[in-house]
Amino acid sequence: VAAPAIASVASATTSDGKPVEVPKDGPAAVAVGRAVEAGVSSPIKMGSKPKVPIGKKYQIVFVTGEVAPYSKTGGLGEAMDGLPNALAAFGHRVMVISPRYDQYKDAWDTSFWSSVTMAGKKESVHFFHTYKQKVDHVFVDHPTFLERVNGLSGAKLYGPEWGKDFADNQARFAYFCKAALLAITELPLGGVPYGDEVVVVANDWHSALVPMFIHAEKQAEPSKWKETKTAFLCHNAVFQGRFELEEGLAKVFDVPQQYIDSITFHMPLKVGKYNKKIMCVNTMAAGLRYSDRALTVSPSYARECATDPEKGVELEELFALGRCTGILNGVKEGVSPAEKNFVTKTKMSCGTFT
């Protein structure tokens, strides 16, 4: 699909006579192809590099438990590094909010202090910030994250080792979600907060309470979050943030009891049909139930999560309820057999890669 559009500018030159760098493969070429398929008459704008224009610019906020290169356990951290950068390159105003697990040397104290209500008490909120590749990176600074692991946390974000969770993960990430709302509405970045005219994308269970907290605040005060749209992006449906139901959780979260009831299920704490079922709170269910749209990392995975109990891991009805849409994950252009550095570092020496 991209070939005709690319061919039309392959021989073009810039104003100073230099040849235009035209993408022939990778995400850039795919973007051109999609624009042509959508009927855009001039999918490429000329300049030192060809660009695909967008019709409207948005404020987009990603809330995530990890973001590379600062924190990463797997694909979520990588995706939260690449996708925001790509959207910012299109001209959108983009922010990524994540916990401050370590002393990130390029993130500076914002001097912003506020508080959120947890278990009837005021818990302080403090942010660090850095601006890279046109993306605002905001880190929630709190002892529950920074002092959890001696030295560098590395990949020990959710537990002391793989398969073991910290005992207070439910409370620490509920606090994180509440703090993220303050970063969106009150933290001045470039002199101006993002405010409520935003698209908020919550990623995996660690930030799945964000759509629920926004919904609860809108119910209590209809003027709040009036212009906000929310999406829940599921990278892996297996990890759902299941916790045993405890009395008084609504007070801990500072939400009406109906919200806790709506995400409480009779299911095993650990995924597996032969495990003992108990009444437990499913954190991922909050993102699916209260977001405006549910997303996954590919169209096929979206279909599977909404129809297959094994893939949806007992939440397939909620995936279907959220009109789950799959948007295929991108791949960095450097990850290609056409890139000599990639081939050299991976030591590819056979077949078509030689």
Min mean pLDDT across 25-34, 53-62, 66-75 is at 25-34
Report the number of secondary-structure helices (H) and strands (E) in the chain.
13, 12
3-state secondary structure of 309: helix
Q: So what's the pLDDT on residue 256? A: 97
Length of the chain: 354
Q: Which stretch of 20-34, 55-69, 297-311 has the lowest confidence by average pLDDT?
A: 20-34
CB 283 within 8 A of CB 318: no
Which tens digits make up the pLDDT trace of 184-200? 999 999 999 999 999 99
Q: Which residues of 293-316 are buried (b: 16+ CB within 10 A; e: fewer)?
A: bbbbbeeebbbbbbeeeebbbbbb
Q: Please identify which residue in the block is written with the tokens 């008459």.
A: 41
Q: Where does residue 342 fall: left (phi above 0), alpha (psi -120 to 50 degrees), or beta otherwise?
A: alpha
Higher local confidence (pLDDT), 120 or 161: 120
Angle between helices 169-185 and 209-220 (to 10 degrees): 60
Question: What is the maximum span of the chain, computed from C-alpha positions, in angstroms?
Answer: 71
For 18-46, what is each residue's pLDDT tens digit?
665 655 665 556 666 666 666 665 555 55
Tokens 């909620």, residue located: 318
Q: What is the pTM of this model?
A: 0.82
* Whole-angstrom distance, CA of residue 86 vs CA of residue 105: 24
Cα(192)–Cα(28) distance, integer angstroms: 32
Distance CA 282, CA 249 (A): 13
pLDDT of residue 354: 42
Q: Taking 70 as the threshold, does the pLDDT of residue 182 lie above it?
A: yes
pLDDT tens for each residue of 88-139: 988 999 999 999 999 899 999 999 999 999 999 999 999 999 999 999 999 9
Average pLDDT, whole number, for the chain? 85
Residue 253's CB is within 10 A of a number of other CB atoms, namely 25
pLDDT at 151 over 80: no
- Tokens representing 135 are 């993306």
- Residue 353 pLDDT > 50, yes or no? no
% of the chain surpassing 70 pLDDT: 76
**Residue 15 pLDDT more than 80?**
no
What average pLDDT does this structure show over 215-229?
96
Q: Is 163 a residue whose pLDDT tops 90?
A: no
CA 178, CA 202: separation in Å to the nearest integer?
Answer: 12
- Chain segment 250-282, per-residue pLDDT in tens: 999 999 999 999 999 999 998 888 899 999 999
Distance CA 291, CA 293 (A): 5
pLDDT, residue 126, reads 97
Is a pLDDT exceeding 70 seen at residue 311?
yes
> N- to C-terminal Cα distance for the chain?
27
